[in-house]
Structure 1
Amino acid sequence: MGSRARARRAAAMLGFLGLLCAVLGAVMIVMVPTLIKQQVLKNVRIDPSSLSFNMWKEIPVPFYLSVYFFDVVNPSAVLLGEKPQVRERGPYVYREFRHKSNITFNDNDTVSFLEYRSFQFQPDRSHGLESDYIVMPNILVLGAAMMMENKPMSLKLIMTLAFSTLGERAFMNRTVGEIMWGYEDPLVHLVNKYLPNMFPFKGKFGLFAELNNSNSGLFTVFTGVKDFSRIHLVDKWNGLSKVKYWHSDQCNMINGTSGQMWAPFMTPETSLEFYSPEACRSMNLVYKESGVFQGIPTYRFVAPSTLFANGSTYPPNEGFCPCLESGIQNISTCRFNAPLFLSHPHFYNADPMLAEAVLGLHPNPEEHSLFLDVHPVTGIPMNCSVKLQLSLYVKAIKGIGQTGKIEPVVLPLMWFEESGAMEGEPLQTFYTQLVLVPSVLHYAQYVLVGLGCVLLFIPIIHQIRSQGPRDVTSQPSVATEPDRLPSPCTPLLQDSLGGQPTSPKA
């Protein structure tokens, strides 16, 4: 009897434990998604107490700027009207450092900040040195010539004389370091002396001179602390809610985020919109596919084919015109009126006429498309590669001898890639707290329910087995005890079986 009682108590305890597991698992199924959502909302907002705040303030991801130059092989032939031929040089790789300063939290649930950037050359990652010489169009000369196209002939002749006196030519041969970070040019000093507002720079001229050790403007973005629906969205840039570079309100709108984090809980229908001060416009990326980066699930976002389409191909882009062929965007209005164009490298995803007009271009999606891999639950980028090309529209300008007989062509100057991937301790922390722990909780709730159901069956099975049929071998048999009187029910039993009753012995 003692062993049976102990078995009953053990079965009851297991059943009670199973009930607890099942109830806890059911509660977790209901509560865990809400708890995870609350933790994500708490840790992605811009708040000093959030997990991602230090990541937002001092980006731990190592960013690299890789620059490729288009070395003009036949500059003399181009001046005679022949098709340009270019040779891609590079990459020249720079480590990019970013940090935010002047961080100010405002009363309207926004935060204002300046983000500074600096670059350090990485010889071990580069294919060449900053001392390498590159032959490329002289942006100052050819840009100024284009701006003089509709001016009186007398002014053009004066400019031709000025160019000759200063030794300026249509093509220049300068080092990578000079092209990137600036060089002294007598034309810049002359223009700044007599036309002080024509150029936005006063000293050296270089394609990236304004970016090194400088900020990208004063951003004011929503923190998401009070109103989560607007988290990371830009409220103002340099005090403006829209810019004045373009010809339509839609194109001038400052939409999306500052390009570093997005709202969490993304779906394939989500798009990534951000404002780029360098491009002077908002850009929009679209979902392509799901993937995994270092064990972290991601959504890959890419540029739509309409990003740099002209107004004829994509009417909403009409505000960015005047346009040339589709696939390049005119940015002259935000680049001191020089005829500069932005596109994908090698004119990828653009009108084929553009690449065919220049020998040496080979556009392909593997090398020249851009992407961002974002963790959809938090909206934090894990891996990115943004690639853009800068080109100059050149042609012969009558009256300016330095332009020779150049046939109209959009001549690529260089293209660059900004890339970065989360790694090391930040990646491990992110994976543990925002991926591993939620995954463990997600599976634990179903394990608890399953275990609870199994344990609940134990007392039920024990009860069924304990109430089974009794052992008949331990009971006396009527057939073995002939002296026992028949039961009063015997006649009835025999009648039901069709037999005859027998009289008892006297």
Structure 2
Amino acid sequence: MAKTSNKKSIILGVIGFLLVAFGTLLVFLVPVIMDQQVEKNVRIDPSSGFAFEMWRDLPVPFYMSIYIFEVVNHKEVVLGEKPRVRERGPYVYREYKQKTNLTFHDNGTVTFIENRTFFFAPDKSVGSEDDYMIVPNIILLASSIMVKDLSLPIKWIISGAFATFNEEPFMNRTVKEILWGYEDPFLDFINMILPGKLPFKDKFGLFSDFNNSNTGVFTVNTGIKDITKVQMIDTWNGLTEVDFWHSNQTNMINGTAGQMWPPFRKPSEPLQFYSPDACRSLTFVYKEESEFRGIPTYRYSAPDYLFANGTDYPPNAGFCPCLASGVQNMSSCRFNAPLFLSFPHFYNADPGFVEAVDGLHPNGELHSLFLDLHPLTGIPMNCSIKMQLSLFTKAISGISQTGSIAPVILPVLWFGESGYLDGAVYTTYYNTLVLFPTILDYLQYVLIALGLGFILIALLLPFVQRNQEENPHVPNDIHNSEECPEDSKLLEDPEYGSPGT
């Protein structure tokens, strides 16, 4: 019996030791396995499977919601009164992005063009593309600002041309025309006498150069040679910096193209990306830990200094000439048109901008932006990027159409681009990069606990066996008179009869 007990103890001990050893090995191997899994799936490599397909052809729902500011007192504005606006929308468009012309280079980079198309989503919109509204006539108002320093006779000629083509400072157009373009005889006239001076040829629309277009030629690092540089821009349109602004720092092309970032993020590391639409690199900073459908994330938001002027934040001096903080002058990269970029409703901007226009209600919950990033992989889980486009306008002597318009930064529209990981892509991502590493992480401790349990049983088993041998168990017998004397007496009691009865 002792030999059998010893054999069982040895087997249990060996099993326990192996489990503890394997579990301990996993403690060191799991981080390595997780890092290797992450690197394999986030680098730009056709052999990396679903991550490459996701990068090349964004399969998750992505929407652009547009809110237009209708000027409800346009006649009074021409007479010098404060503008009063009413927000209309959202008018929502499903956005599709696909990278084409992929060319991989020996230095570990890839060049591509990302095409984008928009389709109206009536089920998500409040209103129709056929809705009419009164908005600023940007062709007239912007042109007036752009020629304000010309001689008076030339401005009279321009004003006469406006009158000839029935151009007014405000126009009544449909949403579709405002966004995607409308034919304008005055635009044809300008292109005829000043060919190549304007970016618009056949139609003018605020987003007419967005649809069925691309944002330029990007060359980014694939991460195959250095995973810490994956997605980082090497060049944009062959450039390492732009020439729109007035300092080396503001002209730098920093970060990624804005869809993914290098993995293994730390809260101290900001997110940087270059936006061709904003003509500059943008920076988001860490705000707090968050979670998206079971996936741990870091939430990033725009810093207070993003649109600060050069006085409040000296590194932004290169974006000047500046007004008060909260708006960015876009004229140098928009053909000198007096356009300004800000957060919706001038959120987080100088109060003077809000006070100059009735109908604005800045709200942090509605008008701030955020991006939830999975720090291990550098892939966004959920985001909402919001920006406002405004027009500076005022009365220009010699341009009669501008009347007595008071100087004002007039909001035209704001838009929010949003998307989140969903469907089969989310499931694959979660299983591959979250669930599998989590199982491995827990498995190591389960194996160690089981191993220690087996070892403990192996150590106790000989003592249990020895105790049983020294104290054998004797079964009870109700017929044993020594153990049950009272039962024997009952059997001999005359009242119950004798055993022989």
Q: Same fold (TM over 0.5)?
A: yes
Aligned with 2:20 (options 9, 19, 22): 22
Give a deviation string over 1:344-378, Cα, whole Å, max 9, x none. 00000100110111000000110000111111110
Residue in 2 that maps onto 1:404: 403
Instruction: State the 1:134 CA deviation.
Output: 1.5
Instruction: State the 1:334 CA deviation.
Output: 1.1
Does 1:49 pair with 2:73?
no
CA distance in 1, matches of 2:313, 2:396: 31
CA distance in 2, matches of 1:445, 1:283: 42
Instruction: State the 1:465 CA deviation.
Output: 4.1
Residue in 1 that maps onto 2:208: 209
Moved more, 356-365 or 448-457: 448-457
Residue in 2 that maps onto 1:309: 308
Given that 2:394 and 2:404 are in contact with CA atoms closer than 8 Å, whether structure 1 keeps it comes out as: yes
Does 1:136 pair with 2:135?
yes
Does 1:435 pair with 2:434?
yes
Give a deviation string over 1:262-281, Cα, whole Å, max 9, x none. 01111211211000000000
CA distance in 2, matches of 1:469, 1:80: 107
Does 1:37 pair with 2:32?
no
Moved more, 430-439 or 267-276: 267-276
Q: Letter of the aligned partner of 1:114 in structure 2?
A: I
Given that 2:5 and 2:462 are in contact with CA atoms closer than 8 Å, whether structure 1 keeps it comes out as: no
Structure 1 segment 481-492 matched on structure 2, within 5 A: none
What is the number of equivalent residue pairs in this alignment?
471
- Can you give the 5+ residue segments of structure 2 that lack an aligned partner in the other structure? 473-501
Secondary structure at the residue paired with 1:96?
A: strand
Given that 2:392 and 2:409 are in contact with CA atoms closer than 8 Å, whether structure 1 keeps it comes out as: yes
Instruction: State the 1:198 CA deviation.
Output: 1.7
Instruction: State the 1:469 CA deviation.
Output: 11
Give a deviation string over 1:452-504, Cα, whole Å, max 9, x none. 1111111211234456699599xxxxxxxxxxxxxxxxxxxxxxxxxxxxxxx
Secondary structure at the residue paired with 1:49?
A: helix
CA distance in 1, matches of 2:462, 2:269: 56
Structure 1 segment 221-370 matched on structure 2, within 5 A: 221-370=220-369
Residue in 1 that maps onto 2:87: 88
CA distance in 2, matches of 1:43, 1:275: 23
Q: Letter of the aligned partner of 1:420 in structure 2?
A: G
Identical pairs, percent:
56
Give a deviation string over 1:153-194, Cα, whole Å, max 9, x none. 111111111111111111111000001110001121111111
Residue in 2 that maps onto 1:108: 107
Secondary structure at the residue paired with 2:345?
A: helix
Instruction: State the 1:8 CA deviation.
Output: 2.6
CA distance in 1, matches of 2:326, 2:455: 66
Residue in 1 that maps onto 2:97: 98
Give the direction of change, closer, same or farther, for the CA distance of 1:471–1:45 in structure 2 (3 Å limit).
closer
Secondary structure at the residue paired with 1:387?
A: strand
CA distance in 1, matches of 2:146, 2:76: 24
Residue in 1 that maps onto 2:482: none
Instruction: Compare CA radii of gyration and give the structure with the larger one.
Output: 1
CA distance in 2, matches of 1:443, 1:14: 23
CA distance in 1, matches of 2:27, 2:102: 40
User: What TM-score do the two structures reach when normalised by structure 1?
Assistant: 0.91
Secondary structure at the residue paired with 2:140?
A: helix
Instruction: State the 1:149 CA deviation.
Output: 1.0
Give a deviation string over 1:113-168, Cα, whole Å, max 9, x none. 00001011111110000000111111110111001111111111111111111111
Secondary structure at the residue paired with 1:118?
A: strand
Given that 2:245 and 2:251 are in contact with CA atoms closer than 8 Å, whether structure 1 keeps it comes out as: yes
CA distance in 2, matches of 1:256, 1:382: 18
RMSD: 1.4
Q: Letter of the aligned partner of 2:44 in structure 1?
A: I
Residue in 2 that maps onto 1:119: 118
Instruction: State the 1:229 CA deviation.
Output: 2.3
Given that 2:228 and 2:263 are in contact with CA atoms closer than 8 Å, whether structure 1 keeps it comes out as: no
CA distance in 2, matches of 1:6, 1:218: 76
Give the direction of change, closer, same or farther, for the CA distance of 1:93–1:470 in structure 2 (3 Å limit).
closer
Give a deviation string over 1:402-428, Cα, whole Å, max 9, x none. 111111100000000101111110000
CA distance in 1, matches of 2:336, 2:106: 39
Give the direction of change, closer, same or farther, for the CA distance of 1:202–1:470 in structure 2 (3 Å limit).
closer
Secondary structure at the residue paired with 1:43?
A: helix
Give the direction of change, closer, same or farther, for the CA distance of 1:49–1:69 in structure 2 (3 Å limit).
same
